[in-house]
Chain A
Amino acid sequence: MERRVIFFEDVREGGEVPPFVVERLTRMDLVRYAGASGDFNPIHTDEEFARAAGNPSVFGHGMLTAAFVGKCVTDYVGSENLRRFKVRFATRVWPGDSITCKGKVTKKYEHNGEKRIDGEVLALNQKGEVAVSGTFSAALPTRN
């Protein structure tokens, strides 16, 4: 499947970054991310350890939710065009949660001869609480 290329001219400040939704995160998703990333903090995969540390259950790696936000961004700007991506972790994500990543373009400008856009992105749980908030910068191609 060919990704649709966006051009600098097509983007407007305030324009939407299309959503990416993950339905009902599972414990297996957390195990898979632990293996893929190498983040084996047992608080994300070992139920007994997580409970002993005072949690109702295991919870998601912040960087897994951040990765979903990253996908939302690169699906929009193109992975080779991303220049900066920053996330801040807010509420935690639990097995069974559904996560909606979405964002908007905040600024269009030129930087080092590149046509740049900045944007804000959020990952929200099914209750509308912010799990991750972030910002990004990307350099986009032009039509001419």
Chain B
Amino acid sequence: MTWEIDRSAIGEWGPETTMRVEHGKIREFARAIKDGNPAFAGDAPLAPPTFLMTIAHWTEGATSGGVRAVKLDMRRLLHGEQEFEYVKPIHAGDVLRVRSRTQDVFEKQGSRGGKMLFVLMESEYRNPRDEVVAYSRNTLIMTEGTVKA
């Protein structure tokens, strides 16, 4: 099996999405991750460190939103790495504009024989003053066969 990679889509920013950072969503997320930190509760909560994953509610999918350089097969997809860079604090009430791009796509030979496709993604989050508040970067790995433990 091989992959069709559209190299022209690499580095190109996709369309913008608006993400409203909601009070109730922060509360729900903090409970789901068993984080009772008072900074994530009360009347003016901050967003927990991995809260930007909730962008999935505003786009097509969790980690695959914005990948246009290659067609992803969810049955063969692994989340390899995830990185967040925090430039400014994110609070409930913030309205963020988000855009994503594929940074790179490359193939590697897996240790058990099959080929693996690495897809590096970056998302940029801006506040209404057009300041970058955060970057989210992830590495997706697509395997030739079904993912095994």
- Identify whether the interface residues of B are mostly helix, strand, loop, or mixed: mixed
| Chain A interface main SS type | mixed
Instruction: Given A41-B74, A63-B82, A86-B81, check contact A22 B39 (CB 8 Å).
Output: no
Inter-chain contact A79/B46, CB cutoff 8 Å: yes
Q: Is B105 an interface residue (CB 8 A)?
A: no
B78 contacts across to A, CB distance below 8 A: 89
Measured in the bound complex, the distance between the Cα atoms of B82 and A92 in whole Å is 15
**Cβ-based interface call for B80 (8 A):** yes
A53-B75 contact in complex given A67-B33, A68-B34, A79-B49, C-beta closer than 8 Å: yes
Residue B7 CB within 8 A of the other chain: no
Contacts of B79 in A (CB 8 A): 62-63, 89
Is the CB of A123 closer than 8 A to any CB of chain B?
no
Among B8-16, B24-32, B95-103, B118-126, the one that faces the other chain is B24-32
Quick one: CB contact mask for B74-91 with A, threshold 8 Å, 1 for yes?
A: 110011111111100100
Partner of A35, one of B32, B63, B86: B32
Q: Which of A55-106 contact B (CB under 8 A)?
A: 55-56, 62-64, 66-68, 70-71, 73-75, 78-80, 82-89, 91-92
B33:A64 contact, CB within 8 angstroms: yes
Q: Are B39 and A85 in contact (CB under 8 A)?
A: no
Q: Does B17 contact A (CB under 8 A)?
A: no
Q: Does B57 make an interface contact (CB < 8 A)?
A: yes
Q: Is B62 in contact with chain A by the CB < 8 A criterion?
A: yes
Q: Is B56 an interface residue (CB 8 A)?
A: yes
**Nearest CB in chain B: distance from A84 CB, A:** 5
Interface size class of chain B, counting residues whose CB lies under 8 Å from the partner chain: 35 or more
Q: Which residues of B contact A (CB under 8 A)?
A: 25, 28-29, 31-35, 37-40, 46, 48-50, 53-57, 62-63, 74-75, 78-86, 89, 146-149
Known: A37-B62, A38-B57, A54-B146. 16 other contacts (CB 8 A): A2-B38, A29-B34, A36-B25, A37-B54, A53-B146, A63-B50, A63-B79, A67-B32, A68-B33, A70-B49, A71-B48, A73-B49, A75-B37, A79-B49, A80-B39, A82-B86
| Chain A residues engaging chain B, CB cutoff 8 angstroms | 1-3, 22, 29, 32-33, 35-41, 53-56, 62-64, 66-68, 70-71, 73-75, 78-80, 82-89, 91-92
20 residue pairs from A and B, CB less than 8 Å apart: A3-B37, A3-B38, A32-B32, A36-B31, A37-B54, A39-B53, A53-B147, A54-B146, A62-B82, A66-B50, A67-B32, A67-B48, A70-B48, A71-B33, A80-B39, A85-B49, A85-B83, A86-B83, A87-B81, A91-B149
